[in-house]
Structure 1
């Protein structure tokens, strides 16, 4: 949907401000590092180069995790997706957790435990990062307690309904970073980012705001009582699941803002970012100036992340 290069000339003021930021960082003695090799090879803008490893790692993880949960729900003996009430069939306290589900829990629990630390200390801070930390804490609590109290069947269904959106999100973000690499305009990445953004918006509503309440919340609120009238921790687990739903609604508001912005400016960007246009353009200009000097390029890129 982008109609052109999407990059305006850098003003003298924005360039001066960018150089002032760089000078302050150098004078402070703060350690700076060059961009990751792949990002440097792609000649990404400094801010995009800093975020590329995060998105690439998450894309790999979520693709593998969603593929595995898809296998469990559609290519094994489990019928939880087509028959959600079956998640509580033959439930009993202390029952054995199947190995294939236990593997998924171990991987997901490890990932979200790390994600709490990564969001605070490693990833780019965004407008919704505080909510993201809360989301990771709630998700880790759901994974841990649902495993301990044998609600693992529900957990696999929840993971399946949520991971697909993260696959599409990270795929779209990577193509947004790549479409302006080297200061140019790359049609393929622009088309892929537009396709990804549309797919992401549709699947978010379909999977998280329609199927999640229909299949998961109905099963945990209604079917659980019908199957196991004395089921323990009923209100505790449902409170966590409803908190997850509220966060999904909160993030859907960002998606609505994104769609409105897309219709107005016809360019895919992450509306959760704290983005200053002059800083973005100044960073791009500094990157171009530093292309012929690897050491200087590393300082420029790191300084303007």
Structure 2
């Protein structure tokens, strides 16, 4: 089959061709497997799996190293940076997680991009070539082995981080399943020497994580120090758009038509008795379904940073007409309006004060200051969040005008 690849890359199929050819190949493989079962699986593991104990130990040490490095970076870099930039309390609590993930995924995706486009590997432009010269126990190139070690150890760390370090969200269970499936795919594809297709899978997935964490960071930084920063707001909007486009293009278009087509159809043409055909294709199909789940179920076009694993979207909340409960203060005033228990107000959150109260930088009637969240001070959203659609900060009227009212 290597000679077949010399005629040029095979054209990328359509979705209909993927379903027709992939399903047909799977049915043919199932009918031709007379001794499928645990016995065949045990023989396949003994004959084709090549994973030495030192490699597993190195993977475990790498996961531990990522955990220690994250703890050090959070305490010595990310939290001091959030404090110095005067982020809102709830944003300061979430910023270290996004900063950590952004830096890792940016580095990981840059390295996989180098492997696919800066070397002689033809995997991206000719995905079926990943199986042309496959052999049991074949040597793994050192540059690909480094990528596997970094990614495998990081996803081992990510399972622990999702359970004990990251903020728990409504889709954290799905995210945990995603990390487990990804780790199993990384380890097993290395052991069975499917590392070429593995690099392609990592490249097609990491780019969306880079854009997601970049967008979330700009959402956290756009309202800080009592001010609204237009540059971060614009970057967050552009990040939302690019994240949406990349998620569909990389994960829902290229991934099934390049990776699933190669593993479900082309693999059997190159290696008719390829081991663990169903195991790998089921896991890759599960990965595709999770990508589709986040796209259709968790995705909200008006608030893309919530998708996946982000937090509540800052959408406008109708503000009740209760100006009498809202003491007016100008932007330049040194005074602070402190909420008592059970009071309601509308305003831009500045910082927490001591005790159960909250301090606010601005507190105006909704006719002047619309679009801000208005919640009870002792409710679940006690630190009120700026939810403006506009990038322009509202101006407070002068004290004389307020007194005239």
Say whether the 8 Å CA contact 1:112–1:139 is kept in structure 2. Answer: yes
- Show the counterpart of 2:260: 217
Q: How many residues align?
A: 251
Say whether the 8 Å CA contact 1:201–1:255 is kept in structure 2. Answer: no
Structure with the larger strand share: 2
CA distance in 1, matches of 2:80, 2:297: 32
State the SS of the aligned residue for 2:246. helix
- Show the counterpart of 1:113: 156
Structure with the larger helix share: 1
Residues 11-67 of structure 1, C-alpha deviation per residue, up to 9 Å, x if partnerless?
xxxxxxxxxxxxxxxxxxxxxx99911111111111111111111111111011001
Alignment partner of 1:82 is 2:146: no
Provide runs of 4+ in structure 1 moved above 6 Å. none
- Show the counterpart of 2:23: none
Residues 244-292 of structure 1, C-alpha deviation per residue, up to 9 Å, x if partnerless?
00000011025642x1x34xxxxx65265564989xx99x7472536xx
* 200, 208, 216: which one aligns with 1:165: 208
* 246, 259, 270: which one aligns with 2:306: 270
* 136, 143, 146: which one aligns with 1:103: 146
- Show the counterpart of 1:16: none
Alignment of 1:252-271 (within 5 A): 252-254=295-297, 256-257=299-300, 259=301, 261-262=302-303, 269-270=305-306
Say whether the 8 Å CA contact 1:165–1:203 is kept in structure 2. Answer: yes
5+ unaligned residues in a row in structure 1: which ranges? 1-32, 263-267, 291-303
- Show the counterpart of 1:63: 106
Say whether the 8 Å CA contact 1:127–1:273 is kept in structure 2. Answer: no
Say whether the 8 Å CA contact 2:305–2:311 is kept in structure 1. Answer: no
State the SS of the aligned residue for 1:230. coil
* 204, 219, 231: which one aligns with 1:176: 219
Q: 1:76 to 1:93 in 2, by over 3 A?
A: same
Alignment of 1:19-168 (within 5 A): 36-168=79-211
* Structure possessing the higher radius of gyration over alpha carbons: 2
CA distance in 1, matches of 2:311, 2:202: 29
CA distance in 2, matches of 1:43, 1:173: 16
Q: 1:269 to 1:59 in 2, by over 3 A?
A: closer
TM-score computed with the length of structure 2 as normaliser = 0.58
Q: 1:74 to 1:255 in 2, by over 3 A?
A: farther
TM-score computed with the length of structure 1 as normaliser = 0.77
- Show the counterpart of 1:203: 246
Q: 1:191 to 1:255 in 2, by over 3 A?
A: farther
Question: Which structure exhibits the higher relative contact order, with contacts defined as CA atoms closer than 8 Å and separated by 6 or more residues?
Answer: 1
Say whether the 8 Å CA contact 1:80–1:87 is kept in structure 2. Answer: yes
CA distance in 2, matches of 1:200, 1:276: 15
5+ unaligned residues in a row in structure 2: which ranges? 1-74, 318-344, 355-381, 384-405
- Show the counterpart of 1:229: 272
CA distance in 1, matches of 2:188, 2:149: 13
- Show the counterpart of 2:351: 287
CA distance in 2, matches of 1:254, 1:183: 34
Aligned CA RMSD, in angstroms, stands at: 2.5
CA distance in 1, matches of 2:112, 2:313: 39
